[in-house]
Structure 1
Amino acid sequence: MRSYPATVSSLIHHCTFSVLRRTLSLRSPATVTTPMANGSTTATEDSLRRALADKQSTIDARGSAIRQLKSSGASKSEIDEAVKALNNLKLEKTSIENQLKASISGDSGTSRDAFRQAVVNTLERRLFYIPSFKIYRGVAGLYDYGPPGCAVKSNVLAFWRQHFVLEEDMLEVDCPCVTPEVVLKASGHVDKFTDLMVKDEKTGNCYRADHLLKDYCKDKLENDLAMSADKAAELKHVLAVLDDLSGEQLGAKIKEYGIVAPDTKNPLSDPYPFNLMFQTQIGPSGASTGYMRPETAQGIFVNFKDLYYYNGNKLPFAAAQIGQAFRNEISPRQGLLRVREFTLAEIEHFVDPDDKSHPKYSEVKDLKFLMFPRDEQMSGQSAKVLCLGEAVSKGIVNNQTLAYFIGRVYLFLTRLGIDEKRLRFRQHLPNEMAHYAADCWDAEIESSYGWIECVGIADRSAYDLRAHTDKSNVALVAQEKFAAPKEVEKLVITPSKKELGLAFKGSQKMVAEALEAMDEKEAMDMKAALETKGEVQFEVCTLEKTVAIKKNMVSISKEIKKEHQRTFTPSVIEPSFGIGRIIYCLYEHSFYMRPSKAGDEQLNVFRFPPLVAPIKCTVFPLVQNQQYEEVAKQISRSLTAAGISNKKDITGTSIGKRYARTDELGVPFAVTVDSTSSVTIRERDSKDQIRVNVDEVAAVIKDVSEGRCKWNDILQKYPAHTSASADE
């Protein structure tokens, strides 16, 4: 997925920075927890703020009246009565404040913070992940995956390969993390892969400008209960348009609100762009500049010609890559959601731009799930359940292939264990869309941080292949051979190098390239404007400005030519997955607490589906007994031979404590050896137990772990087992 930094609007909306909109989305998760994406305030909050303001005015007036009573020598009983009435008003004000706090925070207040802390504490204590280089106080934005975290990640990626690479017959590649500068120059990353940064003018500490403004607005909305409804609406609007503010606008807001460095309270510099890539040198001379890749997709694009040949020169086809990506975040936070090194899984599906149908579209078109089209966002509505096929037929989703991958992403995430009620597909707003993109959707998962963009699914047209064709002078194109020669009307754009050189001097080449890159509609509109006006304003994205094109600078016409084949640049449908973000949201969606058997403590449980659970099964003897331990080893060997990850526990602690330990790791099944012929199998969430012969254990666990049958089917087949030790 790529690019979604909250940076300069003019850069986002134009030119090569747009290449990053797909990549950066993994960096900058949306955290708005209200569906009021246009920044409007809710009616309830509005009325409560007005009521609070009115109550405060009444309190002020009563306070003045009491002071007048005292100065005029009123009786004590009269003053006491007035003070009592004032205190009642203050109690009413407190009640309104509490209602307002509840309205503002909803589920995202302290309960969310407490839940998140419980999840993170459990994850770090059980070594799912920990801060990297911990004994040296760590480095922000870098994390290590421990044994269970590695297992979960490995299982997620294995399912991703099965669900996408194998199912769609994709071509998987593995490209270097170190990328030459010329590649990232062509893609636009060298010039435009930026976030806006401000510095503490005294200490030099750096902060992301949009983060400071967002934190200020959220803090005021949650804590300044005396704020007027108009001011609250203003701050909500700022939050809604934050990603679209230019550097100048961000700086103006920071000054207007008096925002200072959070640590020192020192004044801040004006915002300026900071490139997020890690730069390095290739070779000992230092003459060849490279970067740690900020995404994996460029390796696929530059290999298109060879991959196309490998695929028999046929379209459509998809290439996929899983690998590490690197972004030098200004101020990493939110744990695994914003890091400096992370795993991406990306697909580039190459398709004929004139035919974006998909042969397997019928398999997903009847799916129904939460979708958030741009019209609903802009009108202040909420996400709603839509049928995917209906969304395509109404033109909400641009084409079948894009819709097919949206449907496949939905199935992938929900089968991993993401709660479908907290998963939505949000369409990019016009200000988020790259100028060349046909349509873009983000799979957003709700967590304690709000709605987090975890997968980007974009129709990027032919931008990437054209950019590398222009830079490398190697044609990254496809051909369609005709059965018989065809007469084809061709658009011919011929810039006048002489006239462009006189007008634009050193910028001549970029203007000429921009003219030649126009599509048919844009070119014919220019032709008509030049014929009527003699001059037209033309935006050159590589120059980041608009220039005046005169009639003598370019010739635009259509010619009839006879062709034996059609040569074209394929369009790209790109699903891009932030694996770390998906895994963190999976942790939150899987976590819950239940009381112990004694009821004196809450036990942590991860309800991972067997598909992704780090360990599928634990095996332990009920008591320390040589015979039982031998049976446990036998069962463990049979599980391993069947490809089922398992762990033996012969510590001798109580069975309840051993169950609790494995539940906290998300292990779905536990085998307890209490005889030499048959054993019990316990299911984690229901705590139901069945009796199974020793030689059948591996087959039963394998069937239910790999989805061949459900636990309820197993319950019908094998006798139930009840025991006081079954509970914690």
Structure 2
Amino acid sequence: MNSTEQSLLHANSEKSAVEKEPEAFRKALAIILKERSFSYPSFDIYKGVTGLLDYGPSGRLVELNVLSLWRKYFVNEEDMLEVGCTALTPEIVFNASGHVKKFTDLMVKDVINGKNHRADHLVKGYCERLKKDVTISAEKAAELDNLLSVVENLSAEELGAKIQEYGITAPDTNNPLSHPPRPFNLMFQTSIGSSGSTNGYLRPETAQGIFVNFNEYYKDSGEKLPFAVAQVGRVFRNEISPRQGPIRAREFLLAEIEHFVDPENKSHPKFPDVESLEFLMFPREEQEKSGQSAKKLCLGEAVAKGTVNSETLGYFIGRVYLFLVCLGIDKERLRFRQHKANEMAHYAADCWDAEIECSYGWIECVGIADRSAYDLLAHSRISKVALKAEAKLAEPIQVEELVITPVMREMGLAFKGDQKNVVEALQALNEEEAMKMKGTLESKGEVEFEVCTLGKKVTINKDMVSILKKRTLVSTRVFTPSVVEPSFGIGRIMYCMYEHCISTRPSKAGDQQLNVFRFPPLVAPIKCTVFPLVQNQQFEEATKLISKQLKSDGIKHKIDVSGKSIGKKYARADELGVPFAITVDSETSVTIRERDSRDQVRVSLKEAASVVTSMAEGKKTWQDVCARLNG
């Protein structure tokens, strides 16, 4: 890497320099990520495919460490159920969830070469370029700011009008664009089975697999709310024109949590653990004021004032903040931005994005949304299977209740092995559907009824089912739970972490800048390097002994027995982000060096591995070790 690229990496601590040359900064970082086996373009020998990226050995270790910490912070801390659902999904599921109709972006085409472009990105890019023009008026700048805040939510007609108003043309070619923009569904479509008769999609999120299995997970939780289900899995989005490298990929890893809660009680018993946290927040009302930016707010006050709609949503916002900071994300370049009214999904009660600032700007890396009861209601309606929970009432109450009673003998004779599916579908009818069926049975004696779990219609006659309303005394309340969903884009988080952790420092001789990844020990790909000061049998045997102990502790490490100088070995390890180095320079004791301070302590040969293990696992800090050994 040349000196210019090194100086650009040094700009990591000089935000203005990154802003001036973001593309050059990204290029310099990409070289390191490739050289040190963090990531490569997929299928590179065949010129690659835009939007696809492979992780090398170092990148895969970082990913595993991030996921390990994620499980510690969420799955283990909250006693969540962790599941693994299939990525290949039948079309009916995404019809119910709304993805088939609504999971789209607006696309325009270069009318000369036929290349497709995402319309809102073209308008956004135009606005951002024009804003850099120091000669534009304050009025024009305000107009551009307003457009940037709503561009992703404009209709096809509105976007098309802006493209024509500003004379926006195709990138690279300046060719005219098709008009108006047209919707493009981002899901990868396929067929299931040899006949191709069953349409399917590769999932664009992991959530739907959890929602459709709600009843099973409700049983696993002891039929008590709240409870949460977590899932880590690969998802697929057929991006129109992915231009942001690792930030906008067509295949990536999501870690999602579906926290099911009583809609009438969204308090959280552990909210006091996070309510005193202060960090950058950007509520929607502040975004609507000209020239405002995120400010540090107290999380407890934001919930108390209703800025964040519930303790449960606030609790997860706080936990996400702590998790990202623990990964090495700079807290001054991390904000939580509330969705504005025109951004909110129609079903959402509230939604906040954890956005991390990097050379691409502010990037959404985690979405924390109160999805209300939309998903469970949608799947109940289409599948005809009830997805509900119960809560005991303080005192029994009189209610008018819909009672659907299948006549099991008649059902068994008519449907045999399909009886269970038909009965479940009948009992999942809502009041309007049930009373309509009752009227048809009374007037015609039978009715056709679609059973989604069988994929066909069946005929129900009046002798098979009783449908009536009656007043009854109930001691439980039956309801559809709400869902609070934190959704983590693991690849985006990792890339922002790379940008925040990379820096340079002068070599010992002062003649060059050396790259350093300042990863926290918990997420560093390699926790420790071990090398003998000189090549002799005693030191090499001691090195092997330490390595054996580290392996026994499950600590990923490297042995370096090359003939390079100690300084070069340290520099090589620092560029990979290795936090600790053990130098075997005696038969009875060794030196442990810490990457960031470059300080060293001396420990006995026998305890070297255990000292490094305690720091690599986060049980001890370097300061703890220094205080004990130097105290």
Is 1:300 paired with 2:210? yes
Q: Does 1:697 align with 2:603?
A: no
Give the CA deviation at 1:383. 1.3
Residues 179-216 of structure 1 show CA distances to partners (whole Å, capped at 9, x for unaligned) of: 01000110011111100000111221111111111122
Q: CA deviation at 1:713?
A: 1.8
Aligned counterparts of 1:632 and 1:458: Cα–Cα separation in 2: 50
Equivalent residue number for residue 439 of structure 2:
none
The answer to whether the aligner puts 1:273 opposite 2:179 as a matched pair is: no
Change (3 A) 1:483 1:219: closer
Q: Is the 8 A contact 2:153 2:342 kept in 1?
A: yes
1:258 and 2:167 matched: yes
Tell me if structure 1 keeps the 8 A contact 2:356–2:365: yes
Distance apart, 1:263 and its partner CA: 2.9
Q: 3-state SS of the aligned residue for 2:105? A: strand
Matches of residues 665-676 of structure 1 in structure 2 within 5 Å? Answer: 665-676=576-587
Q: Number of matched residues?
A: 555
Alignment partner of 1:477 is 2:388: yes
Question: What is residue 440 of structure 2 aligned with on the other side?
Answer: none
Asked if 1:228 is matched to 2:137, the reply is yes
CA contact (8 A) 2:263 2:481 kept: yes
Tell me, yes or no, if structure 1 residue 713 matches structure 2 residue 624.
yes
Q: State the SS of the aligned residue for 2:606.
A: helix
Structure 2 unaligned regions, length at least 5: 1-14, 403-428, 434-468
Instruction: Structure 1: give runs of 5+ residues left out of the alignment.
Output: 1-104, 492-512, 518-557, 721-728
Q: How big is each residue's C-alpha offset from its partner over 1:93-151, in whole Å with a ceiling of 9 and x where there is no partner? A: xxxxxxxxxxxx95553244443333222111111001000111100000000011000
Give the structure 2 partner of residue 136 of structure 1: 46
Q: Which residue of 1 aligns with 2:32?
A: 122
Aligned to 1:611: 522
Q: How far is 1:267 from its partner?
A: 1.3
1:54-65 pair list within 5 angstroms: none
CA–CA separation in structure 1 for the residues paired with 2:62 and 2:28: 19
Deviations 1:603-657 (A, max 9, x none): 0000101100001000011122222112111111111111111100111111111
Partner of 1:80: none
Q: Which residue among 98, 101, 116 is the counterpart of 1:188?
A: 98
Looking at structure 1, the residues matched to 203 and 153 of structure 2 have their Cα atoms a distance apart, in angstroms, of: 25
Matched, 1:364 2:274: yes
Give the whole-Å Cα distance in 1 for the aligned partners of 2:529 and 2:262. Answer: 50
Q: CA deviation at 1:379?
A: 1.7
TM-score (norm 2): 0.85
Query: Which residue of the partner structure matches residue 263 of structure 2?
Result: 353
2:570 maps to amino acid: Y
1:151 equivalenced with 2:61 (yes/no) = yes
AA aligned to 2:31 is N
Residue by residue, what CA displacement relative to the aligned partner does 1:66-109 show, whole Å, maximum 9, x if unpaired? xxxxxxxxxxxxxxxxxxxxxxxxxxxxxxxxxxxxxxx95553
Aligned position for 1:52: none
- Counterpart of 2:27 in structure 1: which amino acid? Q
Matches within 5 A, 1:84-95: none
Residue in 1 aligned with 2:158?
A: 249
Asked whether 1:399 is paired with 2:310, we answer yes
Q: What percent identity do the matched residue pairs reach? A: 65
Higher helix share: 1
Q: Determine the structure 2 residue equivalent to 1:203.
A: 113
Shift of 1:302: 0.3
1:144-543 matches, cutoff 5 A: 144-222=54-132, 224-270=133-179, 271-380=181-290, 381-482=292-393, 484-488=395-399
CA distance in 2 between counterparts of 1:563 and 1:515 reads 18
Q: Is the 8 A contact 2:150 2:342 kept in 1?
A: no
SS at match of 1:241: helix
Residue deviations 1:145-172 (CA, integer Å, cap 9, x gap): 0011000000000111111111111111
Question: Which SS does the other structure have where 1:255 is aligned?
Answer: helix
Distance 2:401 2:331 in 1: 48
For the aligned residue pairs, the C-alpha RMSD in angstroms reads: 2.2
Q: Tell me by how many angstroms 1:382 deviates.
A: 2.0
- Aligned equivalents of 1:389, 1:172: Cα separation in 2: 29
Alpha-carbon separation, structure 2, partners of 1:267 and 1:445: 34
Give the distance between the partners of 2:62 and 2:159, measured in 1 at CA: 40
1:655-674 correspondence runs (5 A): 655-674=566-585
Relative to structure 1, is the Cα distance of residues 118 and 698 closer, same or farther in structure 2, using a 3 angstrom cutoff? same
Structure 2: which amino acid aligns with 1:233?
Answer: A
- Distance in 2 separating the partners of 1:705 and 1:203: 53
Question: Which whole-Å deviations, capped at 9, do the CAs of 1:18-74 have from their partners, x for residues lacking one?
Answer: xxxxxxxxxxxxxxxxxxxxxxxxxxxxxxxxxxxxxxxxxxxxxxxxxxxxxxxxx
Structure 2 contact 110–177 (Cα < 8 Å) conserved: yes
- Give the C-alpha shift of residue 597 in structure 1: 1.1
Helix, strand or coil: the match of 1:109?
helix
User: Structure 1 residue 515: deviation in Å?
Assistant: 12
Counterparts of residues 559-638 of structure 1 (less than 5 Å) = 562-638=473-549
Assess if the C-alpha contact under 8 Å between 2:19 and 2:359 holds in 1: no
- Superposition deviation, residue 516 in structure 1: 6.7
1:552 corresponds in structure 2 to none
Give the distance between the partners of 2:125 and 2:271, measured in 1 at CA: 43
- SS in structure 1 at match of 2:607: helix
One-letter amino acid of the counterpart of residue 708, structure 1: K
